Structure 1
Amino acid sequence: MALVTAVDLTAGPGVGFLPLVSLGPAFAGLIGGWRRTVLYGALALLLCVALGTYDGLFGTRRGYTALASVAGVTLAGVIAAVMRGRREAELASVRSIAEVAQRVLLRPVPRSAGPLQIAVSYTSALAEARIGGDLYEVVASPYGVRVIVGDVQGKGLGAVETAALVLGAFREAAHDETDLVALAARLERSVAREVDGEKFVTAVLAEVRAEEQAAVLLNCGHPAPMLVRSNGTVDFPHPPAYALPLGLGTHGSEPPRSYRVDFAPGEQLLLYTDGVTEARDADGTFFPLEERAGLLKAPGAEAALEALREDVVRHASGPLQDDAAMLLLRYR
């Protein structure tokens, strides 16, 4: 507005810069509230009247046209500011609800349970998203520390609903079932009953008991966990036979079988979803998880997992194509 005023005073009335005074309330309506827009609109009208009088334009149609332009743009700016304010308030409310839903669906895991130090990371493929189809949970049950990390097929609210179903069933069954095979069967029944074959869930279950230097795993079509030994070597313990993902067990496959792996003090077990290993860089190269295992040497489990998460995001050099969840168990 100051620039338009200076140019108008310099160039004179023949150039016709006066209507450009309306840029002030126009930009105010884009970035400010309606009160700010009204303030700049009133200032623009005063400048328009003053400059029009100075240029002698109010004896002609040009002066009144310029005044009408400024008034019209100011009114449009005020309406736009009001509507934008309402949308921002609605968005803030939706985000608040999403954050509450996230705390209910993906509750904070305990930092320690039994002999384990625990850390978790969740990176959404959408920058503004708070929840998605990846899931994780840790339960200190009478049978040991039980963990699940899973990935629901598909995206959107349907995937979130299925994730909530699996987590609810796991939280209850983890305290009741005596072994992981029975626990997986109970999850299978819950998913098959509710989703009716429309969705499935890949998942890996783990159980660690304080008196045993071993972990029991059960894999339902999920990427194999990464086991980092105390000497720095890396292993991906695969099951003797993969079970079908949860929700597809009615297709007549063999029931899932659990298997044991050595898991001693000083070692770490990383459970993750395929959003981690399938993160691609600009050349289309997948994230080399095994090569990055050294990032987990940080003294604290949370710091170690955060370093790995940052490396995944850095490797992708942009938004991830899929949600990426990681859960780290460090045997103290």
Structure 2
Amino acid sequence: MLPVLVVAVIALVDVTAGAGMPWLPLLAAGPALAASTNGPRGVLCVGLLAGVVGMALALLHTAPTREPAAVVPALLAVTAASGLASALRARRERVLAAVRSVAEAAQHALLQPVPETVGPFQVAVRYSAAAAEARIGGDLYALVPTPYGIRLIVGDVRGKGLPAVSTAALVLGVFREAAHDEPDLLDVVARIERSLARNLGPDDFVTAVVAGHARSGHLEIVNCGHAPPLVISASGRVSAVESDRPAAPLGLRALSGEAPRLQRLPFAVGDQLLCYTDGVTEARDHTRAFYPLADGVARHVCEEPARTLTAVHDELLGHVGGRLHDDAALLLLRKATAEEPGNAPSWRESETAL
């Protein structure tokens, strides 16, 4: 209705001011605007309306015949050009919708949805690609229930675009398979490393945190050049899990010669683990200040991981002014109940849900 409103306003101003013909060329704004909001049929209707209104105003002001005869062809030309622009816009929108549907399918295949509850754990994920139209980027995450307990990975691929997405797909595929096959978490990381060594270029790598919760009740963490995860105790205290012997990112072990180290931490009921990518901690506001993730988590932590991440994500967007300039992923795991002996079937049920 906006183009019709524009034509009506121009006609009202012309009648009220009594200015005559000088206002008539402005009627072309109606069909021109309709090209951005309507289809070709809507543009044609607005153009005809503008032509009829122009002729009526010309008769009202008893203008010479040659003046409306010059305005009406101009309106028709603008209407025709606007109709063509509208048809091209509609075609581009259909192509973009098809591309987005493919991107969404790729995202669901690559970053599979994580259930809210897996065994004794509550889980929440927030992912934002810097290119909103792309829907997917170089950040990756996965959570897999296995016979050896729950296992997860959060990582960041060096680079952007399709090569980064391809590498992320490779890492996630190897992780999902190895997590089921390897009893030792370090062996899971080793299999990912071997696969990347065969498939990546010399300058490519992936930073990642691989974590698992075994039946012993302890949390196992392997950090490969990634930002340290945060552990939130049941009392709300937030602390970073710093490694005393940092390992190289995945794909660069041959250059560093350092093998990753397994860290074991107590993980009681009510404790939470937050893994994230550098798109969160390196987000800057207008003063170039980084987002204080640990402080934000401490402000918003609660017993519902989804609520916590929603509040943190909203605060993050507010910090950067509404748009992130890098991919950002957050995965929060909360131990809601204690494991009971013989609860293996519940893990397999959760695996089926994935």
Among candidates 125, 137, 142, match of residue 137 of structure 1: 142
Tell me how far 1:331 sits from its aligned partner. 1.3
Q: Deviations over 1:50-93 (max 9, x none)?
A: 44455555643x33221210110110111111111111111111
Q: Deviations over 1:125-183 (max 9, x none)?
A: 23434111111101111211111000011111211111111111111111112212211
Q: Does residue 26 of structure 1 match 2:28? A: no
Identity %: 47
1:48 matched residue in structure 2: 54
1:223 matched residue in structure 2: 227
Among candidates 130, 140, 146, match of residue 151 of structure 2: 146
Q: Does residue 161 of structure 1 match 2:152? A: no
Among candidates 294, 309, 317, match of residue 321 of structure 2: 317
Q: Distance in 2 between matches of 1:247 and 1:70?
A: 63
1:263 matched residue in structure 2: 267
Give the counterpart letter for 1:33 in structure 2: G
Q: Distance in 1 between matches of 2:73 and 2:206?
A: 62
Alignment of 1:72-87 (within 5 A): 72-87=77-92
Q: What are structure 1's unaligned runs of at least 5 residues?
A: none
* Contact 1:273-1:325 within 8 A present in 2 as well: yes
* Contact 1:298-1:304 within 8 A present in 2 as well: yes
Q: Deviations over 1:88-134 (max 9, x none)?
A: 11111111111111111111112222332211111222343411111
Alignment of 1:296-315 (within 5 A): 296-315=300-319
With the length of structure 1 as denominator, give the TM-score of the two structures: 0.92
* Counterpart secondary structure, 2:247: coil
Q: What are structure 2's unaligned runs of at least 5 residues?
A: 1-6, 337-354
Tell me how far 1:243 sits from its aligned partner. 1.4
Among candidates 97, 114, 117, match of residue 112 of structure 1: 117
2:43 matched residue in structure 1: 37
Q: Distance in 2 between matches of 1:317 and 1:19?
A: 41
Give the counterpart letter for 1:298 in structure 2: C
* Counterpart secondary structure, 1:120: strand
2:298 matched residue in structure 1: 294
Give the counterpart letter for 2:30 in structure 1: G
- Assess, with a 3 A threshold, how the Cα gap between structure 1 residues 7 and 181 changes in structure 2: closer, same or farther: closer
2:175 matched residue in structure 1: 170
Q: Distance in 2 between matches of 1:55 and 1:308?
A: 63
2:11 matched residue in structure 1: 5
Among candidates 185, 188, 191, match of residue 186 of structure 1: 191
With the length of structure 2 as denominator, give the TM-score of the two structures: 0.86
- Assess, with a 3 A threshold, how the Cα gap between structure 1 residues 9 and 214 changes in structure 2: closer, same or farther: closer
- Assess, with a 3 A threshold, how the Cα gap between structure 1 residues 22 and 252 changes in structure 2: closer, same or farther: closer
2:341 matched residue in structure 1: none
> How many matched pairs?
330
Q: Which moved more, 1:173-182 or 1:124-133?
A: 124-133
Runs of 4+ in 1 over 6 A off after TM superposition: 10-14
Q: Distance in 2 between matches of 1:313 and 1:9?
A: 49
* Contact 2:297-2:308 within 8 A present in 1 as well: no
* Contact 1:41-1:71 within 8 A present in 2 as well: yes
1:66 matched residue in structure 2: 71
* Contact 1:213-1:265 within 8 A present in 2 as well: no
Q: Does residue 17 of structure 1 match 2:52? A: no
Tell me how far 1:191 sits from its aligned partner. 1.6
